Amino acid sequence: METNKTKEALFSKKNRKLLSDPMNINNPITVQVLGICSALAITVKLKPAVVMSLSVIVVMALANVITSLMRNMIPNRIRIIVQLVVVATLVILVDQVLKAFVYDVSKQLSVFVGLIITNCIIMGRIEAFSLGNTPWKSFLDGIGNGASYGLILIVVSFFRELFGNGTLYDYPVMEKLGLYELGYHNNGMMLLPPMALIVVAVIIWWQRSKTPSLIEKD
């Protein structure tokens, strides 16, 4: 086991799979259906979705590495508490640093900090992966899952902001295209929470139709 690990290249095929799998066949949102709560809450506009995605990638990668380093020291019975403490500490530290040095970004993020702590994907990856794997693999797993979570967030918020608000990253697309003069109206329903679930469901539908291995045989 020990010799295997030292021989393995940093970006071996197995390690690359850690990055690519979550993007498709093991996507945390569309396949594992985790992190739905925050995907619903912050996909009204692109900007907060992007900030949230970046923060989740950072927190998830660091939390994975830290718990992986401690994996042989954590008592089994309190491991969930330990995971929670690690994630919460990281989120608070990130928030404090942002508040001190990039105040604008921290104002964007303020509401969502709490959501990062409760994000089930982070806890899920720590519990399922980093407690049993080396720090480097855990790091890759964290980046992979964080990025694929972010991908879905950005896709959903793209559609919601475009059709609900007529803007993209606060740029008035629909106005510039002159659609309002032709009688076009924004669909206010896109801004309401249920539409996030419907958009996610459409993505799941599309993904399953493209990936036969995801379809259950009953």
Partner 1 sequence: MNINSNSYTYVFAIAMVIVVASLLSIAATSLKPFQEKNIELEKKSDILSSIGVIGEDPELLFDEYITEQLVIQNGLVVSSEVTAFDIDLEEAVKESNSTRKVPLFKAQKNGDTFYVIPMRGTGLWGPIWGYVSLKGDGNTILGASFDHEKETPGLGAEISTPIFEDQFPDKILFSSLRDGIEVRKGDASGYQQVDGISGGTITSVGVQTMFEDCLIPYKNFLLNLSIENDNPSDSTISVLYH
Sole residue written with tokens 């964290």:
142
Q: Counting every residue, how long is the chain?
A: 218
Report the nearest approach of partner 1 to the CB of residue 124 (Å): 21
Sole residue written with tokens 């609900």:
164
* Residue 99 binds partner 1, judged by CB under 8 A: yes
Contact residue for partner 1 among 19, 40, 54, 82 (CB under 8 A): 82
> Which of 129, 116, 55, 53 minimizes the C-alpha distance to 88?
116
* Residue 178 binds partner 1, judged by CB under 8 A: no
* Residue 173 binds partner 1, judged by CB under 8 A: no
Stretch that binds partner 1, among 3-11, 98-106, 124-132, 144-152 (CB under 8 A): 98-106
Angstrom distance (rounded) from CA 202 to CA 29: 12
* Residue 188 binds partner 1, judged by CB under 8 A: yes
Cβ proximity to partner 1, 84 vs 214, nearer residue? 84
- CA distances (Å), origin 24, targets 28, 35, 54, 67, 96: 9, 16, 19, 25, 34
Angstrom distance (rounded) from CA 41 to CA 52: 11
Return the DSSP state at 119: -
Angle, nearest 10°, between helix axes 79-101 and 120-128? 130
In the chain, the amino acid numbered 169 is Y
Site string for partner 1, 31-70 (x = CB under 8 A): -----------x-xx--x----------------------
Report the nearest approach of partner 1 to the CB of residue 55 (Å): 16
- Those residues with Cβ within 8 angstroms of residue 14's Cβ, 6 or more apart along the chain or in another chain: 8
Contact residue for partner 1 among 111, 177, 198, 201 (CB under 8 A): 111
Other Cβ atoms within 10 Å of 148 Cβ, number: 25
Stretch that binds partner 1, among 14-22, 54-62, 99-107, 122-130 (CB under 8 A): 99-107
* Residue 132 binds partner 1, judged by CB under 8 A: no
Cβ proximity to partner 1, 76 vs 213, nearer residue? 76
Report the nearest approach of partner 1 to the CB of residue 134 (Å): 18
- Those residues with Cβ within 8 angstroms of residue 3's Cβ, 6 or more apart along the chain or in another chain: none
Contact residue for partner 1 among 101, 181, 212, 218 (CB under 8 A): 101
What is the contact surface with partner 1 in residues (CB under 8 A)? 42, 44-45, 48, 72-78, 81-82, 85, 89, 92-93, 96-97, 99-101, 103, 110-111, 161, 164-165, 188, 191
